[in-house]
Amino acid sequence: MKKRGRYSTSGMVEDRYMPGSNGTVLENLLGITTLVEIERIETQLLFEVSDQILDEFSREKQFTVVGICLIHQRRLGSLYEWAGRFRHVTMSKGDLMFAVPAHIPDLMSVFEVDRRCA
């Protein structure tokens, strides 16, 4: 059964929706139940963290897996319990399937190796 909303997920904490949201808003730490408000907060957090990160990074700084997880935690940690951790649910947006959770650790390991060889 396909869930409604911006993302389709299945299983675990990333798959819980806010009561009263009709299955359209993922469970969040702020108790937001409307799609318009959650999108507004996510966008606001994106702009805030992007500005901070741009000040911290230079052309020579390379991304690492740990660094990516920290950025994700900084961006969404005040909103979602699972922020900053590898995903454990299958997820898609529209027709785009995201990486299968079982493959994420291996893909991130390849990213680390490829990053060092660049």
Q: What is the pLDDT of residues 9-42, one digit of tens each?
A: 555 778 889 999 999 999 999 999 999 999 999 9
Per residue in 63-106, pLDDT tens? 889 989 999 999 999 999 999 999 888 888 889 999 999 999 99
Question: Which residues, at least 6 apart from 40, have a Cβ–Cβ distance to it below 8 Å?
Answer: none
Q: pTM for the whole thing?
A: 0.78
Give 17's contacts (C-beta < 8 A, 6+ positions apart). 3, 5, 23, 24, 25, 26, 27
CATH class (in words) of the domain with range 8-117: mainly alpha
Using CA atoms, how far apart are residues 104 and 108, in angstroms rounded to an integer?
6
Domain ranges across the chain = 8-117
Separation of CA 65 from chain center: 14
